[in-house]
Chains A and B, each alone.
Chain A
Amino acid sequence: MSFVLVQVIVGGLLLGAVYALFSSGLTLVWGMMNIVNFAHGDFVMLGMYVAYVVYTLMGGGPILGAPLATLVLATLGVVVYFALIRGIMKGPMLAQILGTFGLALLLRYSVFWWFGANFLSMPPNIVGGTYAFAGLRIEASRLLAGVVALLVTLGLHLLLTRTSLGSKMLAVAEDQTAAQLMGIRPDTMQAIAWAIAAGATGLAGALIANFFYIVPTVGETLGIVAFVTVSLGGFGSVPGALVAGLLIGVIESLSGYLIGAIYKDIVVYVLFLFFLWFRPQGLMGKM
């Protein structure tokens, strides 16, 4: 019993790290420009498909998929910023919501049209193995995703707090006009933010693809988790997303195992609402 409980908690932590990984991009975009990207889940989905195509159709193997997905999605992020986001940021709130929502559907159904509705799965590969020690089983692919989640969070945090690029980005987030007077180009900074956010999301997708199924609608399933993680962690806080992701992962796993899986979402959301009641800005968000 206690051994199984350890397995449940370890599984929950790894799951939570993955939640954190695919939430960091969402929180970054929110923190930078107060835009909720409803296409976020579909960015994850695209990352999965890039990894799949690189691996199976181009023979790139499992190693090349992750960096290529990062690159492709980062490029897409910049394109989306200049083609869509820059325009709708000037519009009303509703335009922002519907704009990214429309983008989500466009991406989803483009993939539908190209790849069809069938479920795909990565072929077994070097990260497909499972480590077993002392009866505990850890999937290599989840471990890799968990470690990368920690590294990405740390990297983003250092970038924002310790580099001049980060300071410039935060300056734009704080006050665009003032930043412009200081010789910072808001456009460039925000485009960079989109590139980083979308790139991190693509990376997340490529790593998740190793242990999840791949289907055009997978963004719906994963997107909701990202929104909950980000609002619990505090909109705009990258470390907050990590802590929140881990917390949600462990609570989900524990309640799923102890109380029953159909109740786990109730437990998670009751705790979530209860928490926001006392701390509406989230764990590490600013008021």
Chain B
Amino acid sequence: MVMHDIARDNPNAIEARNMSVYYGSFRAVKSVSLAIEKNRITALIGPSGCGKSTVLRSFNRMNDLVPSARVEGEVLFHGENIYAPGVDPVNVRRRIGMVFQKPNPFPKSIYENVAYGPRINGWKLSKRQMDELVERSLRGAALWDEVKDKLNQNGLSLSGGQQQRLCIARALAVEPEVILMDEPCSALDPISTLKIEELMFELRKNYTIIIVTHNMQQASRASDYTAFFLMDSDRAGQLIEYGPTAQIFQNPKDERTEQYISGRFG
């Protein structure tokens, strides 16, 4: 593992430089440059098909799982390009965790769901240490009080909102630095959505969060920075505007951003 903290005062957790993503010969994302600040919540917004999910998935090399996908340009994490030859995507994903659109707990017990990451990574933990880590992660995801008496129950037995927080706890247990969230609330009811948003604010003290959302209010309510993406005439997604959320929503520089957030298209 070569990814040491090169500069602790580097304010950026992740930085994409001229990143393009291809599926076969189709360019899905065109030359995105984007620096994500540490311990902040950055929202990626834009109409369907604008490439925001693809950008998110490029940040922890989830696109590697699509056989035809290819990334050009650089994605820097601790100053190192995660797409450089010799970088193991397993190591990248361990440190840049992910929460998905639909809650996807493993069909295992709540405890085993959370303990999965530490186990596969071969962390030498005693039973007590593992218990502590599981508890801390579940507390971190604001789920502990609801499940502490039923840790051996199947994760699938929880409600949708609880399942999603279990997935967050599962991601926290690996102790990542960045958490990517791909529309984490789109399958949830409004109350569960609010809980997750509160949780994100809590988590931001210790983690950098990047969230893709369809929900304009969520972006304006729950994020520090907003990046707006749009499809160009070749159907390739590109970054239109990026800045502090308040500025993007109140005083967008680009006309297309204004049209989008005021609901005139998309």
Q: Do A and B bind each other?
A: no
Enumerate chain A interface residues (CB-CB to B < 8 A): none
Enumerate chain B interface residues (CB-CB to A < 8 A): none
